[in-house]
Amino acid sequence: MGSTRREFLRNSWKAGGALLGLAAGWTTYESLRPLALPAAGANIRLGSVSTYAPETATYVTAGRLFVANTGTRLFALSQKCPHLGCRIPFCESSGHFECPCHGSKYDIGGEWITGPSPRGMDRFPLSLDGDTVVVDTSKTLTGPERGAKQYFKPAKGPSCAPKA
Amino acid sequence: MPETPDSTGDGGAVATKPPRDGLEPKMAYAPSAGIASRIARSNAWRSMFRHPNLDTPRGRALQSFSNFFLHLYPVKIPKRVLRMRYSFRLGFIISVLFGILLVTGVYLMFFYTPSVNSAYGDMQHLRTGVGFGQLVRNVHRWSAHLMVLAVFLHLVRTFYAGAYKKPREFNWVIGVMLLLLTLGLSFTGYLLPWDQLSYWAVTVGTNLCQYVPVFGKTVQNLLIGGPQIGQSTLLRFYALHVAVLPLSLVLMLFIHIWRVRKDGFAVERTSTGAFEEEATALPAPAVPANAPAHLYGGRTRVLGVVDRESITAEDRSVDDTVFTWPHMLVRHVVVALGTCATVLALGVAFAAPLRGLANPNLTPEPAKAPWYFAGLQELLSHFDPLIAGILIPTGAVIVLLLLPYIDRNPSTVARERKVAIVIFSSLLAIAVVLTVIGTFFRGPGWSFIAPWTHSYIEM
């Protein structure tokens, strides 16, 4: 005989307990899981292309992003550093994005130059509605790999990180 | 009436009242007519304290048995445990610091709302509009820092003493979990002031999660409850900080202390030492013909069934034990007062920092993690986040948890465990150096600075 009545009951208790644990774990997860992502998902109209001068980065508060004009292309770059999530300010004097937390630097196109970040800055897709630029913040495009140097230009001036 | 010593050891007191019930030890009460003595003899008093305070061996033993708090201690302890360098009282200091944190933490809860709209204002109000508010917050902060430090030193001390070895392996594991809970408490508390310091330290800390393969993003979402740190993060951290983690820590702390009692005090033991030989050389008991076999297999009967490994054969020709009360307790009271005085002095001298209101659009320079994570942050600036942020810390915790099972060498003497000590000391030195560099030698943009030019650390 495979199992006695006692063994069967004991295993049933164990199985029941395991199921109960799974159910408790799942309901806990479901109740704690963030359901809506409130900040993301909106289409933001950014105005005419001509408002963004070449080699500048303009901050858009509504989307927490920079609109960067590399001279040849327009990018919507997420302000969040791909390394550990600090906000990356644009340094006017050097023309690079410089993260204050761990010293990652990116060029005007959001491509990685130096620092511990694993990749370039994440981007949002842009589209044109007539002459108006529209950014879709519901989709994040993973930033370019470390090797990309398409829009790189050497720093045009001093870095914004103060030297001690 | 003068007391005369007698053979019962009860101090020669005269019985004036019969025992209340069978549970009360048969003991005499002094027939003094004073009000204190009358209260001590009353039925109500004796329902709470079941025997009088007697300065006799029996009285001291009863003191320990019948008092919930003293019950945490053994009645008698070996004299060597009284020495400061036996444990440096670190475990006890941690308990005291945790007690201070509970009391000051509850006080702070009366003046704090976990809402992004009011949390920062509550901190300012605490500073200016609440009696002793700033001082209590400072003491809470300093106790938290010191608790992390003391837990760390306690772990280091336990390692060098070899006190994690059999039969105390599992208590070491619980100790490592207590270290993690302490760090968790400190980290969740860090966010609550909702200033720039807390906001960005927690941003950096929680973004580490996303490098964990497979579960990373889910864990991060559960922790911060949204796409970025906000109201739900604050509420989650608050619930973890004031309920979930303290309760877990209290439970684990009880198990930890209970096991210290059950596993006995650590003794120095060599691989072929006298202790072990004596313990195993005890003659096996005569087994009665009809005795159940499992009761006698490998066990020696000494006042009940005791695992032979847990018997520490000590030279009993001289009784080297002393009563916990008062010998140990008086030392503990002094250490507790010293701990309170230290955190109070630190709280008076150095204020807990409060920077500007948390601003998701302005990362301060530099954004530093709390000092105990500064070593990790330093590591992160050199290696890939998957290695520095996940693999190394997780690996370190797993190795620490498994240490008593990996290190099978029974000896606790330093010269017989050179390999273990050299490896541990090297890793310890690396961790300390990284923490010191990350804390004192890093400035804006994580550039290298000399600490005497400007300090970028805020406690």
A39: chain B residues, CB-CB within 8 Å: 227-228
In the predicted structure, residue B214 carries a pLDDT above the cut 70: yes
B361 touching A (Cβ < 8 Å) = yes
Task: Test A100 with B364 for CB contact under 8 angstroms.
Answer: yes
- List for chain A the helix, strand, coil content (%; round to 5): 20, 25, 50
Which whole-number Å values give the CA distances from B421 to B162, B199, B412, B415, in the listed order?
Answer: 10, 39, 11, 9
In the predicted structure, residue B107 carries a pLDDT above the cut 90: yes
Is residue A94 within 8 Å of residue A160, measured between CB atoms? Answer: yes
Choose, out of B200, B212, B384, the residue to mutate when testing the contact with A (most A CBs < 10 Å). B200
Task: Test A34 with B225 for CB contact under 8 angstroms.
Answer: yes
Among the partner residues B222, B364, B444, nearest to A32 by beta-carbon distance? B222
ipTM of the complex: 0.77
Residue carrying the six token digits 């954004």: B367
A164: chain B residues, CB-CB within 8 Å: 443-444, 447-450, 453-454
Task: Test A102 with B450 for CB contact under 8 angstroms.
Answer: no
Task: Test B208 with A84 for CB contact under 8 angstroms.
Answer: yes
Task: Test B228 with A29 for CB contact under 8 angstroms.
Answer: no
Mean pLDDT of B317-344: 88
Among the partner residues A34, A83, A118, nearest to B226 by beta-carbon distance? A34
Task: Test A103 with B445 for CB contact under 8 angstroms.
Answer: yes
In this prediction, residue B402 carries a pLDDT of: 95
Chain A residues 134-163 within an 8 A CB cutoff of chain B: 159, 161-163
Residue B438: closest CA among B446, B426, B429? B446
Cα of B151 to nearest chain A Cα, Å: 28
In the predicted structure, residue B317 carries a pLDDT above the cut 50: no
Task: Test A162 with B365 for CB contact under 8 angstroms.
Answer: yes
In this prediction, residue B54 carries a pLDDT of: 74
In the predicted structure, residue A26 carries a pLDDT above the cut 90: yes
Given pLDDT bands bounded at 50, 70 and 90, which one contains residue B6? very low
Which whole-number Å values give the CA distances from A121 to A41, A48, B211, B218, B302, in the listed order?
Answer: 19, 23, 16, 22, 70
Task: Test A32 with B443 for CB contact under 8 angstroms.
Answer: no
Cα of B304 to nearest chain A Cα, Å: 31
In the predicted structure, residue A37 carries a pLDDT above the cut 70: no
Mean pLDDT of B383-395: 84
In the predicted structure, residue B178 carries a pLDDT above the cut 90: yes
Which helix (H) or strand (E) is B393 found in, with range? helix B392-406
Task: Test B367 with A38 for CB contact under 8 angstroms.
Answer: no
Report the 10 Å Cβ neighbour count for B162: 23
Closest residue, chain A, to B235 (C-alpha): A32
Among the partner residues A33, A100, A159, nearest to B221 by beta-carbon distance? A33
- Write out pLDDT tens, residues A133-159: 999 888 888 999 988 888 888 888 888
Parallel, antiparallel or unpaired: strands A96-98 and A132-136? unpaired
Largest CA distance in chain B: 82
Task: Test B384 with A118 for CB contact under 8 angstroms.
Answer: yes
Largest CA distance in chain A: 85
B365: chain A residues, CB-CB within 8 Å: 100, 161-162
Given pLDDT bands bounded at 50, 70 and 90, which one contains residue B9? very low
- Write out pLDDT tens, residues B242-276: 999 999 999 999 999 999 888 877 666 655 443 43
B362: chain A residues, CB-CB within 8 Å: 87
In this prediction, residue A2 carries a pLDDT of: 65
Mean pLDDT of A47-74: 88
Task: Test A85 with B221 for CB contact under 8 angstroms.
Answer: no
Report the residue count for chain B: 459
Task: Test A85 with B384 for CB contact under 8 angstroms.
Answer: no
Cα B79 from Cα B331, distance rounded (Å): 13
Given pLDDT bands bounded at 50, 70 and 90, which one contains residue B237? very high
Which whole-number Å values give the CA distances from A49 to A68, A100, B86, in the listed order?
Answer: 11, 30, 74
Residue carrying the six token digits 């530093």: B368
In this prediction, residue B270 carries a pLDDT of: 58
Cα of A109 to nearest chain B Cα, Å: 20
In this prediction, residue B1 carries a pLDDT of: 40
Choose, out of A101, A104, A113, A137, the residue to mutate when testing the contact with B (most B CBs < 10 Å). A101
Q: Output the CA angle B446-B447-B453, nearest 5 degrees.
A: 110
In this prediction, residue B323 carries a pLDDT of: 87
Choose, out of B206, B215, B234, B361, the residue to mutate when testing the contact with A (most A CBs < 10 Å). B361
Dihedral sign for Cα B416, B421, B423, B424, please: positive
Is residue B412 within 8 Å of residue B269, measured between CB atoms? Answer: yes
Closest residue, chain A, to B218 (C-alpha): A33
What share of chain A has pLDDT > 90, as a percent? 34
Given pLDDT bands bounded at 50, 70 and 90, which one contains residue B172? very high
B206: chain A residues, CB-CB within 8 Å: 85
Residue A88: closest CA among A145, A141, A143? A143
Measured torsion, CA atoms of residues A24, A25, A28, A32, in degrees rounded to the nearest 10: -170
- Write out pLDDT tens, residues A108-135: 999 999 888 889 999 999 988 888 899 9
Report the range out of B3-7, B306-310, B421-425 with the highest average pLDDT. B421-425
Closest residue, chain A, to B382 (C-alpha): A116
Residue B203: closest CA among B220, B184, B179? B220
Cα B435 from Cα B445, distance rounded (Å): 17
In this prediction, residue A96 carries a pLDDT of: 92
Is residue B438 within 8 Å of residue B352, measured between CB atoms? Answer: no
Report the range out of A128-132, B175-179, B287-291 with the highest average pLDDT. B175-179
Q: B65 CB contacts (<8 Å, ≥6 apart)?
A: B71, B75
Mean pLDDT of A47-68: 88
Task: Test B227 with A37 for CB contact under 8 angstroms.
Answer: yes
In the predicted structure, residue A33 carries a pLDDT above the cut 50: yes
Task: Test A84 with B227 for CB contact under 8 angstroms.
Answer: no
Given pLDDT bands bounded at 50, 70 and 90, which one contains residue B7? very low
Q: What's the mean pLDDT when you consider all of chain B?
A: 82
Q: B454 CB contacts (<8 Å, ≥6 apart)?
A: A164, B443
In this prediction, residue B282 carries a pLDDT of: 47
Closest residue, chain B, to A138 (C-alpha): B227
Task: Test B444 with A100 for CB contact under 8 angstroms.
Answer: yes
B204: chain A residues, CB-CB within 8 Å: 84-86, 101
In the predicted structure, residue B425 carries a pLDDT above the cut 90: yes
Q: B87 CB contacts (<8 Å, ≥6 apart)?
A: B81, B157
In the predicted structure, residue B292 carries a pLDDT above the cut 70: no
Q: A142 CB contacts (<8 Å, ≥6 apart)?
A: A119, A122
Among the partner residues B221, B448, B453, nearest to A34 by beta-carbon distance? B221
Task: Test B225 with A32 for CB contact under 8 angstroms.
Answer: yes
A118 touching B (Cβ < 8 Å) = yes
B109 touching A (Cβ < 8 Å) = no
For chain B, give me the number of helices (H) and strands (E)?
19, 4
Query: Which of A1-5, B32-36, B396-400 is predicted with the least confidence, judged by mean pLDDT?
Result: A1-5
Dihedral sign for Cα A41, A47, A48, A51, please: negative
In this prediction, residue B3 carries a pLDDT of: 42
In this prediction, residue B310 carries a pLDDT of: 56
Query: Which of A107-116, A132-141, B112-121, B297-306 is predicted with the least confidence, judged by mean pLDDT?
Result: B297-306
Cα B435 from Cα B432, distance rounded (Å): 5
Chain B residues 383-412 within an 8 A CB cutoff of chain A: 383-385
